[in-house]
């Protein structure tokens, strides 16, 4: 019995369907290539203005190309990305920026990027391009602007101060851009995502009092010589950010009392990352609020730039114990009693550059009965403590251990002994019949007795399956 094959003439697809298909690739050169397929497609491409609203300007873009695309976009809201290059002259873009400035009332998203190379950070930076400064003219009101992302790393930090008004702004991302006055932005209940780094935050948190619907907040400032403390004041009377699920703070030094006060305003935070450069002072007094203020916490990352800090972990331990934390990463921390456990619901744990006492580490790990993945990178015991009793973790399936190979304060013999003690602990944690993957590097630091034991258990498992 033969079969027939029916084919659809794609050149006759409905107008609306073709618009939906073409909208997935809106580069002008691609659209014009598509327009050459047939008259129908040519009509769709040239007469559907929504296909031309994503504007990308580079030093290769000519004013004629830009004018043509803007004409085809009609009165639709525009999404504009301007990409600067270190090898190009800013003057090449000034004319295009002047054209874009005429359409600022239609711009819904504005993204300014560059190809700045971190390997050349010592290079003397140039002044901000005149065309870009004119586009971001202070006091101009952007009625449709919902997304602003501006990376000023290519230019002098002190040469320009941003000051624009965007009453419907929802997504703001600034990097190495100096802000003249945070209040001029008019940030309010529409704001959903705020990310500022190397910008200076004086006045930022006071502005957040109107951002009740904020969902994500990232504040990083590594310009320590200009901003050595987090400009947050617990007398600001911030609202409770019920919608905020992601909080990321990086600062040279963080006042723990203010940090915990800020966390208390984010009761539904699910992902928290805190990084600092300096050792923190202890809390002035024990926290008297609810230990369940981070009950929705699912992932946390704590980093110390220089290592040896146990203050941050110790201060947050009660809240971690009272949360449903599933993923945790500690970097350059000091885990010393009474830091507490890592959380009973923990599923993945990564420890990097940790200083610990064996007994404290084992006690904390023993409570992680749901742990599935453990990654250890260059951690070391602080003293020659007694060998603790270790019980296997029943759900542990994947373990990766990178032993530390050099330490300026320890001889190779002492370092080797402590690494072997670490391997002892890890091997004792493994539920060998259930573990799937174990990586220990370097191999010579692992005892052959452990390898033999593992192979013996694997043979037993294989015999049961056969």
**Is 438 inside a domain boundary?**
yes
pLDDT at 329: 95
Helical spans, DSSP H, in 114-270: 130-135, 204-207, 256-264
Give yes or no: residues 320 and 354 share one domain.
yes
Residue 229: pLDDT over 50: no
Asked whether residue 439 is assigned to any structural domain, the reply reads: yes
Instruction: Return the pLDDT at 283.
Output: 67
Give the per-residue pLDDT at 347: 96
Q: Domains in the chain: how many in total?
A: 2
Shared-domain flag, residues 208 and 259: yes
Q: Return the C-alpha torsion angle 419, 420, 425, 427, nearest 10.
A: 120
Confirm whether 13 is domain-assigned.
Answer: no
Q: What is the dihedral of CA 333, 338, 339, 343, to 10 degrees?
A: 150
- Indicate if 233 and 374 belong to the same structural domain: no
Name which of 80-84, 147-151, 230-234, 311-315 the model is least confident about: 230-234
Rounded CA gap, 253 and 395, in Å?
Answer: 38
Of the candidates 288, 430, 407, the residue with the CA atom closest to the CA atom of residue 355: 407
Under the phi-then-psi rule, with left for phi > 0, alpha for psi from -120 to 50, and beta for the rest, what region is 74? left
Which tens digits make up the pLDDT trace of 404-422? 877 777 777 777 777 878 8
Q: Verify that 259 and 301 share a domain, yes or no.
A: no
Residue 304 sits in the same domain as residue 262: no
pLDDT digits (tens, 9 = 90+) for 103-136: 999 999 999 988 765 555 545 567 788 888 888 8
Token digits of residue 151: 């990376």
Examine the domain organization and report whether 343 and 464 are in the same domain. yes
Q: Are residues 382 and 342 part of one domain?
A: yes
Domain-embedded: residue 3? no
Express the helix, strand and coil content of the chain in percent, nearest 5 each: 30, 20, 45
| Residue 75 maps to a domain | no
Is 219 within the bounds of a domain?
yes
Residue where a domain terminates, one of 220, 243, 273: 273
pTM for the structure as a whole: 0.81
Same domain, 450 and 361: yes
**C-alpha closest to that of 241 among 271, 264, 274, 207:** 264
Among 273, 304, 327, the domain boundary falls at 273
Give tens-digit pLDDT for 354-388: 887 778 888 888 888 999 999 999 887 776 656 66
How far is the C-alpha of 332 from the C-alpha of 342, rounded, in Å?
Answer: 16
pLDDT digits (tens, 9 = 90+) for 235-290: 677 889 999 999 998 877 777 888 888 899 999 999 999 988 765 666 666 666 77
Q: Is the pLDDT of residue 216 over 60?
A: yes
Instruction: Grade residue 439 by pLDDT with cuts at 50, 70 and 90.
Output: confident
Place of tokens 């006759």: 12
* C-alpha to C-alpha distances, 459 to 449, 453, 456, nearest whole angstrom: 15, 10, 5
Give Cα 307 to chain centroid, integer Å: 21
Do 385 and 261 sit in the same domain of this protein? no
The CATH number given to whatever domain includes residue 402 is 3.80.10
pLDDT score of 366:
85
Residues 361, 447, single domain; the answer is yes
No. of H helices and E strands in the chain?
12, 20
Domain boundary among 273, 304, 323: 273
Asked if residue 333 belongs to a domain, the reply is yes
Residues 345 and 459 in one domain: yes
- Confidence class for position 87, pLDDT limits 50, 70, 90: low
Domain that holds residue 210: 187-273
My answer on whether 453 and 337 are in the same domain is yes
Q: Decide if 28 is inside a domain.
A: no
């Amino acid at each position: 019995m033969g079969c027939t094959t029916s084919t659809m003439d794609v050149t006759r697809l409905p107008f609306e369907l073709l618009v939906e298909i073409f909208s997935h690739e809106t580069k002008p050169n691609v659209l014009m290539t598509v327009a050459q397929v047939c008259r129908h497609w040519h009509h769709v491409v040239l007469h559907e203005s929504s296909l031309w609203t994503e504007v990308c300007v580079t030093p290769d873009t000519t004013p004629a190309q830009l004018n043509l695309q803007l004409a085809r976009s009609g009165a639709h809201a525009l999404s504009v990305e301007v990409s600067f290059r270190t090898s190009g002259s800013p003057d090449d873009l000034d004319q295009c920026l002047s054209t874009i400035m005429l359409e600022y009332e239609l711009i819904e998203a504005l993204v300014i990027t560059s190809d700045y190379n971190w390997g050349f950070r010592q290079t003397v930076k140039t002044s901000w391009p005149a065309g870009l400064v004119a586009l971001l003219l202070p006091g101009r009101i952007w009625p449709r602007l919902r997304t602003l992302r501006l990376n000023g790393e290519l230019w002098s930090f002190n040469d320009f101060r941003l000051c624009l008004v965007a009453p419907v702004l929802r997504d703001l991302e600034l990097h190495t851009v100096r802000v003249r006055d945070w209040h001029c932005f008019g940030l309010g209940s529409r704001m959903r995502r705020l990310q500022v780094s190397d910008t200076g935050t004086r006045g930022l948190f006071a502005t957040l009092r109107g951002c009740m619907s904020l969902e994500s907040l990232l504040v990083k400032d590594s310009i320590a010589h200009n901003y050595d403390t987090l400009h947050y004041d617990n007398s600001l009377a911030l609202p409770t950010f019920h919608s905020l699920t992601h909080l990321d703070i990086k600062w040279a030094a963080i006042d723990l009392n203010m940090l915990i006060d800020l966390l208390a305003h984010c009761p539904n935070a699910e992902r928290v990352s805190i990084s600092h450069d300096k050792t923190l002072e202890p809390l002035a007094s024990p926290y008297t609020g609810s230990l369940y203020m981070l009950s929705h916490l699912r992932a946390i990352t704590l980093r110390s730039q220089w290592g040896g800090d146990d203050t941050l972990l110790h201060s947050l331990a009660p809240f971690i114990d009272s949360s449903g934390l599933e993923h945790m990463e500690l970097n350059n921390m000091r885990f010393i009693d009474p830091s507490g456990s890592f959380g009973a619901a923990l599923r993945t744990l990564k420890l990097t550059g940790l200083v610990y006492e064996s007994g404290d580490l084992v006690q904390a790990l023993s409570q992680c009965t749901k742990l599935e993945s453990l990654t250890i990178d260059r951690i070391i015991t602080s003293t020659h403590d007694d060998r603790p009793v270790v019980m296997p973790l029943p759900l542990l399936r994947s373990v990766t251990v990178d032993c530390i190979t050099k330490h300026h304060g320890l001889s190779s013999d002492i370092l080797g002994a402590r690494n072997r003690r670490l391997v002892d602990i890890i091997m004792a944690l493994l539920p060998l019949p259930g573990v799937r993957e174990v990586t220990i590097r370097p191999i010579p630091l692992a005892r052959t007795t452990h390898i033999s034991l593992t192979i013996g258990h694997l043979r037993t498992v294989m015999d049961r399956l056969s």
